[in-house]
Amino acid sequence: MFLSPRQTQILDIAKAEGRVLVEELANRFSVTPQTIRKDLNDLCESRQLTRVHGGAIFPSGAENVRYEARRSIAAPEKQAIGRAAASLIPNNASLFINIGTTTEAVGEALLDHKELMVITNNINVANRLRVFPAIEVVIAGGVVRGSDGGIVGEAAVDFIRQFKVDYAVIGVSAIDHDGALLDYDYREVKVAQAIMANARHVILVADSSKFERAAPVRIGHLSQVHTFITDVCSVPALKTICREHGVRLIEAEGEAP
């Protein structure tokens, strides 16, 4: 399709940031929200973007959005999810935290906890928590993925299997409407599976944009976790899975800081 200059710029923004919002684009281009919605609808009809509530996302296929850009996607929602997850974890607990921007938000919300042992394959989480004497940080060995600081590979899997912890906090790249938990890198998937298998309580953290994304590698299924924390769950099928399998669903949208 022929793109107008504005649509070309919208597409470029979506590629760089992973997500665009109607109100922000309307202000940026000094046009009405209705005009932006038409632009987004045109781009979605040509399959260059994927429509989500309030905007659109760049369809990543087998390629993940750049990690730094992912930090800015749904940042307030991730912070609310992080606080909700941290509230479930008591002092004097042991836990896994895997790679991801939402799991990083959980790590940030744990800073006032006492006597925690945090085992992670996420260099960013380890670096943030290591300066707090009340938190013992144990970091997995293995191949460091340059794109996001995730430690992956068989060495990381073997390391994780040495532990049996109270909690696991895991993030995923996408959640299919049939409940499949998905990621892009099969090496990270192996680590996530080991984390899930060696924790007494698995907490899945994912904002609602993950419901509209696709990734090629299967981690597991929503029914395998104990608690699922998101900002808002607008997919009835996922709510049904939680109800039928005893998964506690927490919607953190609108929580006060």
> What is the value of pTM for the model shown?
0.74
> What is the average pLDDT across 206-212?
90
In this predicted structure, what is the pLDDT of residue 70?
62
134 pLDDT exceeds 70? yes
Q: What's residue 71's pLDDT?
A: 61
| pLDDT single digits (tens) 7-57 | 999 988 887 777 789 999 999 999 999 999 999 988 888 878 887 778 887
Per-residue confidence (pLDDT) for residue 146, from 0 to 100: 76
> What is the per-residue pLDDT for 201?
98
Question: Which one has a higher pLDDT value, 212 or 223?
Answer: 223
Predicted pLDDT of residue 13:
86
Task: Using the predicted structure, report yes or no on whether residue 257 has a pLDDT greater than 50.
Answer: no
Half-sphere exposure of residue 102: CA atoms within 13 angstroms, side-chain side: 27
Q: Which domains does the chain have, with CATH numbers?
A: 5-59 (1.10.10.10), 69-251 (3.40.50.1360)
pLDDT of 256 reads 41
pLDDT of 149 reads 83
Mean pLDDT, to the nearest integer, of 119-136? 93
First to last CA, the chain: 44
Position with higher pLDDT, 125 vs 62: 125
For residue 69, what pLDDT is reported? 59
More confidently predicted of 230 and 12? 230
Give pLDDT, residue 63.
44
Tell me: pLDDT of 195 over 80: yes
Tokens encoding 154: 């068989």
d(CA 186, CA 88): 29
Average pLDDT, the chain: 89
Least confident of 64-68, 118-122, 149-153, 164-168: 64-68
Q: CB of 95 within 8 A of CB of 121?
A: no
Mean pLDDT, residues 230-252 taken together: 96
- Determine the Cα angle at 166 with ends 162 and 172, to 5°: 85
Nearest Cα neighbor of 207 from 96, 62, 82, 123 is 82
Choice between 28 and 212, residue whose per-residue pLDDT is larger: 28
For the chain, percent of residues with pLDDT exceeding 90: 65
- Residue 256 — φ and ψ, nearest 5°? -75, 145
